[in-house]
Amino acid sequence: MYDIARLPMPVLVRIIAYSDPTVWWSVDSRSIRAVMNTTSFRCWWISHLTKQNPQPQSLDAVVALCKHVLDPVTSIVGSDSWITDNFVSAMHSSHYEAFLKATPALLWRVLKAGDQEKASLVVQLAQLKLDMFNGQFVRELTTQCSELWLFQWLCHNRLDFREAYNSGKCFETSQLIKWVMASRIELLDFLFQQGINLPVRLLIEYALGNSTPATIAFLMEHDSGGLQTLSWNDLLLMASTDATTHLDVYQYVVSKTEASIVWTYAASCLASHAIADKHAYEKFLALRSMPHATLWIVRPIRGRTPIECLCERLTYENLTYVLPFICEYVRLGVSTTNMPPVLSALCQ
């Protein structure tokens, strides 16, 4: 019986590719499996599979290449372990045209697996520009994996971060802010090294409801080009109007401020937004516990007492949320003039 494994490689590849490769892989023939397990066979196989695919011009085309070109090999091996340095080098030297077609898919696959060295080899041999597809490749890749090592790898492989950021092709400010918060600030230092200065105010706005007091402290201490963009008083007002601000963050921000009219407005903001913030009253108490706070939070705002300000916005929907604040203002001696009788009764 003729041993099919002795056929010339291009012929054997076509026979296996046009049938079911998994059958050939599982057949009880050591010679066929041994041939299919070689780098040479896989190079010919990938070359054959890429013939029906044009050079990819979009990320969708890269995903299609992964499915139709790489996955058939992965399905019989059981993993992407077959994408070795030897395979990449052999494809480059013996099947260059097919290699260029497949490199975006190979790069996508090995980077998602976290193999930085192999990814660098692919980029080096193919001379790939990482901002390919108008930045779509990097944009989607970093969206799926926003870890610091990937940004460092992109930098080491000649992606101009500043240009990519300024052009808006690969990154958006809102994305980078989320990634900075998720990376515990390490990414922020890296971006500054690349000449990307994210607006500290936007970072802090995001951090109020998505981070910790330590992060707030770092951002407030961070010197953005030598300019102090926010004071602690500014931040207290921001935190008082943002219902997502974490309680521990609010307590920390309050502790960094000093007695002033800002406390009057902060207390009023908390009471006004109580319906949207389940921790509003706890934040109010944190402010009230500061030394001399009671002298400031009871002060009138534009000629109106804090109670009058709240009554102007009072509805059936927010009554139960606002009532604890009104009761506290009454206990602190705020005038109840013009307060509806029903509220006076509730405050007794």
Rounded CA gap, 78 and 13, in Å?
19
Neighbouring C-alpha atoms within 13 Å toward the C-beta of 118: 22
Render 144-164 in DSSP notation, one character per residue.
Answer: H---HHHHHHHHHTT--HHHH
pLDDT for residue 4:
77
Model pTM score: 0.75
Provide the residue-wise pLDDT of the chain in tens; the chain has 348 residues. Answer: 457 778 889 999 999 888 888 888 887 667 888 888 899 999 999 999 999 888 999 999 999 999 999 999 999 888 999 999 999 999 999 999 999 999 999 999 999 999 999 999 999 999 999 999 999 999 999 988 888 899 999 999 999 988 988 888 888 888 888 888 876 678 888 888 888 888 888 888 899 998 889 889 888 887 544 455 789 999 999 999 999 999 999 999 999 999 999 999 999 999 999 989 999 999 999 999 999 999 999 999 998 999 888 888 888 888 889 899 999 999 998 888 777 777 777 776
83, two tokens: 């994408």
Q: For the chain, how are helix, strand and coil distributed in percent, rounded to 5? A: 70, 0, 30
Rounded CA gap, 107 and 282, in Å?
51
Rounded CA gap, 335 and 333, in Å?
6
Render 4-27 in DSSP notation, one character per residue.
Answer: GGGS-HHHHHHHHHTS-HHHHHHS
What rounded mean pLDDT belongs to the chain? 89
pLDDT for residue 291:
95
Q: Are 137 and 59 in contact (CB under 8 A)?
A: yes
Q: In angstroms, what is the C-alpha Rg of the chain? A: 32
Rounded CA gap, 27 and 274, in Å?
70
pLDDT for residue 182:
76
pLDDT for residue 184:
60
**pLDDT tens per residue across span 236-287:** 999 999 999 999 999 999 999 999 999 999 999 999 999 899 999 999 999 9
